[in-house]
Every structure is written in structure tokens, then in C-alpha cells.
Amino acid sequence: MAQNHLMASRCMIILLIMMSLLLSMVCQSKPLTDSLYHKLLSLPIADILHVDSESTRAASVDFGLIVREIPAAVLRPSCPKDIVTLVAFAYNESSIPFTISARGCSHSIQGQAMAPDGVVVDMMSLGNKRRGTTVLWSWSLGHYADVGGQQLWIDVLEETLKHGVAPVSWTDYLYLTVGGTLSNAGISGETFRYGPQISNVYEMDVITGTGDFLTCSPDKNPELFYSVLGGLGQFGIITRARIALGQAPKRVKWVRMLYSDFSDFTIDQESLISHHGRDQDEALDYVEGSLLMHRNSDSWTSFFSLSDRLRLMSLVTEHELLYCIEVAKFYDGRTQTTVDKALEIILKDLSHVPEFMFEKDVAYVDFLNRVRVEELKLRRQGLWNVPHPWLNLFVPKSRIADFNTGVFNNIVLKKNITTGLVLIYPMNNDKWDDRMSAVIPDEDVFYTVGFLHSSGFEDWQEFDLQNKEVLLFCENNGIKVKQYLPNYNTEREWMEHFGSKWRTFQESKAQFDPKMLLSPGQRIFNHN
């Protein structure tokens, strides 16, 4: 009897071991089989293809620190041809296609630059030397820059400034790659006037999912050009972009104004962005806005002097929630004597809380590179490499008041967990090109709202839940928001996101990446 029992438990243990082995074989997807590895290692890129755990682990995380997907290998290209070799092999010769993702700085939040079991192309290894920033001039374009897809915007700025010129459209943070922001849109306070960064590109070199190296522009391969801009890395890897430049200003008048009334805040913001001609003297160069609360004061106090901070804090205590408009007017030697008057005229009829306007005069580079100061501060405090459950939305102007009531007042204030910056500022629809893949609301003016949360490693889910609640509120109340830096899991959600652009998006995928090799981390065509 005891023997029978022993036999039965042995059989059970063997069965369990076999089952777990079987399960691990099923779960462990191994697109890069041994024979595939051998073929890859026979390619001229073998010595720059890294399969060691240190390399693959480094490519399995991003700024969000929420998703973790381990690639099978990391390619560290030294020139675009290395990328062509990899993609062409995956497309033409590999019996089992494997996925490939370009990785800029991996400043994504939800694993968008990852390639689970595929190959991550570490764009930064292209370096600054071969494909840096070259400033050129032509009769038709004026000044422009040819820039490597792996270049950081800060490097583009430094190089172009040597020629007295600079790009006109920026992101708040400059340690992002050109290829990475052009795959999304590239937005900041300049967007209302100059359009997003994708509206300031003349031409690109792109390696498509078929391994073809193509130059594209509005005249040459236009379908590829428009698909790639805002295309979430789905159609090709950008190795060069030709960027529009303007005369670089020297300094900046930088102003912040506080509001306790949301309606005054939006009326003023919309009035400020209504002057948006590129050559219009009475237009501002930058308009943003944010939500000020006690809870997120770490993210907004540094602009203000110590004595102003005390006044500000008591105003926040009085109202719980304040809104801040932030504007900038750039100037140089030519406009030095007129800038103050111009600014005074632009700001004269605004309805901010009296006595709550603050002004600074800073160098142009310091203004553009302002987030770097905050980054270094957070790094010193050990608060940079923490989870970032961000949510970025484009909200139609017609529903921004409902958004304020439903989200800022009834979710954010009540939950009282929001940390980090909350951005809110409007943009003009006509500065975006509808032929591009980027998706925005169908109204003349729409707001970007960014919840740039930082959390602990244990509690990011709480923030994620709040983000979901915000999205649900919008859905239940018919507020047709579009996610910026979108994150969806199902085809239905992506179809809804792209709306009328979905068909073109699918057709472009079929044309430029028919085997669906590129940017699987976006989870548009590669679902789990």
C-alpha cells in the first residue's frame, strides 16, 4: 500500500516536471532558432550583433520602467548599411521572420522601442561622426540641416547655432532623438505657431521593412514620406532627416501668469495662439500651460524666486487648483529695444490673477534646454530612474471645460495622487499636415494634456488606474480625445485611434513592411 502510494507520488512528480518542461517550451518563443543564429552570424554584421545578456537586458527597459521585453539580440550599427543588411536579411532570407525595432534613447513609456525576441537596433551607436548635423543653404529652402536619425535635438541645436540658425519647432526636452520624435510628432510650446517637428521636415532617408534604402520627400516617394512622419516606426527606420531652420534668436523673455478660473485661462490661451503667422511680429514664440497643486509643487516651483513661492503657495492653498500660462518671446540684437513693448501689447488684456505675473530674461539655449536642469536635479535625488506612468492626450477645444470639471476637479483633485508636471496648452490644427500618420482631434484648436507622473516602483499601478479612469470618463462622456505617444493593445483600439487614417496606415504597412517586422513594441500589428 505504502509502495503504491510512493509510486503514485513519483509518477505525479515526473508528470509535473514534464508538464512544466512542455509549458516552458511552449511559452519560450524562439524566433531566432539556432540555424537562424548561424545564418545571422555569417552576415557581415556578425561582429556588431550582440547577444550577451548585458546588451539584451539594457535594451529591454525604457523611460517608463513599466514594460520589460527582452530581445534576442542588439545590433550596434556603425552606418546605415549595417541596418540595411539586417532588415534585408530578415525580409528576404530568413525563413522565420523576426522583428526589428529602432531604439533611439528609449524615452518611450510602454515598451514602444522594444522587440520581444527580435533584434533591437541601437541607433545611438551610429554616433555623431558619420551622420551628424550638416547645415546647408539653398535658394528654395533657405537654411536647412541634414541630421542623422540618431541625433539628439540638443546636438542639432548646438551645431546649428554655430551658423547662427536653429530649428523652429522643438520638444520640451532635448535629449530625444530626431528619429524618435519624428515617429510621433514632436510637440512643445512652439507648435501652435510653427507646427510640430514633423511639419518642419523636407526630406528623409528611410530603410523600409523590405530592406530598401529610400530617400523620400513630398515630391519623391511621397507615400513613404507622409507615412513615416508620425508613423510610430511602422514603415521604416529614419537614418537622415532634412530639417527646416530659421534665424536663431539670442535671448528670451519668459513669462508665467497664474489663473484661478479655468474659463479665463483657456480664453487667454486661445487668444494668445490666435496670432500664429510665422512672420507675425505680434505673435508669441511659445505658449504652454500647466496645472499647479500642492501635490505636484516639486515640478513647478523652481521657476519662481523664494519670496514669490510663499505668495504662490498661499494662493494654491486658497484655490486648491491653479492654472499657469507660460509664454515666451524670443529676441536678438535687432529686436532688443522693441521686445518689451511688443510683449506688453500682447499680454495687456489678459485676465490672470492681478500681481501674479512673473518674468525672466534668459539665454535662448538655456530656455530651450530648461528641462535638462530639472533632469539633473531629479537624477541627483535618485528620482529620474523611477516608473513613469504617463498619459498624453489631445482634447478638442469644444470639450476642454468638461475635461476640466470631470478630470481635473473630479478625478485628479479627489484622488490626490498626481505627482509630476501636468501640462495643458492649445495648438492650431492647421499647422498639422493631414497626409501624415500623426492623429489629432478634428477641431480647429485642440489642447494637449500631459500627465507626466513619476511614481514609486510599488505604486505605479495606482497611477495607471487613474489614467484609465480619465480615459473612461472621456469615453463615457463622448469627449473624442486622441492619445499622443499612443498605447493600445487591440486592433479595434488602434482602428478607433487612427479613424479615417486607419486604411491608409494599413495599406502603407502592406507596402513598406509587408512582413510586419518593424517596431513591434507599438503593438499595432504584432499583438500578443
Which residues sit at the interface with ligand FAD, rule CB under 6 A?
A: 63, 101-108, 112-113, 123, 149, 171-173, 176-177, 179-181, 183-188, 232-233, 237-238, 485, 519, 521-522
Reduce the DSSP state of residue 191 to 3 states and report it: helix
172 classed as catalytic: yes
Nearer to ligand FAD (CB atom), residue 257 or residue 517: 517
Task: Considering the candidates 155, 172, 285, 513, report the single residue annotated as catalytic.
Answer: 172
Q: Strands, DSSP E only, in 375-512?
A: 391-396, 421-428, 445-452, 482-483
As beta bridge partners, residue 148 has: 240
What is the enclosing helix (H) or strand (E) of 167?
strand 165-167
- Please tell me the distance from the alpha carbon of residue 387 to that of residue 375, in angstroms, as a whole number: 14
Amino acid at position 128, single letter: N
Give the amino acid at 217: S
DSSP β-ladder status, 201-208 and 213-216: antiparallel
Q: Which is nearer to ligand FAD, 104 or 426 (CB)?
A: 104
DSSP-derived letter for residue 184 is: T
Indicate the residue among 80 and 406 with the shorter CB distance to ligand FAD: 80
Q: How far is the CB of 182 from ligand FAD (least distance, A)?
A: 7
* CB 154, min distance to ligand FAD, A: 12
Cβ distance to ligand FAD smaller for residue 40 or 232: 232
Q: Please, are residues 80 and 207 in contact by the beta-carbon 8 Å criterion?
A: yes
Nearer to ligand FAD, 90 or 346 (CB): 90
Q: How far is the CB of 110 from ligand FAD (least distance, A)?
A: 10
Rank residues 175 and 356 by Cβ distance to ligand FAD and give the closer one.
175
Q: Which of 288, 352, 388, 453 is catalytic?
A: 288
Clarify whether 402 is annotated catalytic.
no
Beta carbon nearer to ligand FAD, 249 or 521: 521
Candidate list 50, 62, 69, 107, residue with the active-site label: 107
CB of 520 to ligand FAD, least distance (A): 9
- Cα angle 483, 193, 169; round to 5: 70
Q: How far is CA 389 from CA 256, 385, 393, in A?
A: 27, 12, 13
Q: How many CB atoms lie within 10 A of CB 446?
A: 25
Smallest separation (angstroms) from ligand FAD to the CB of 301: 18
Is 114 in contact with 521 (CB distance < 8 Å)? yes
Q: Which stretches within 59-177 are classed as H helix?
A: 80-88, 153-161
Q: Report the nearest approach of ligand FAD to the CB of residue 67 (Å).
A: 12
C-alpha 46/C-alpha 287 separation (Å) is: 49
Residue 366: active-site member: no
The residues facing 138 across adjacent strands are 142
Q: How far is the CB of 452 from ligand FAD (least distance, A)?
A: 8
Residue given cell 546649428 in the structure block: 160
* Helix/strand/coil percent split, the chain, to 5: 40, 20, 40
SS3 437: coil
Q: Is 137 helix (H, G, I), strand (E, B) or coil?
A: strand
Secondary structure of residue 11 in the 3-state scheme? helix
Which residues are marked as active site?
Answer: 107, 172, 288
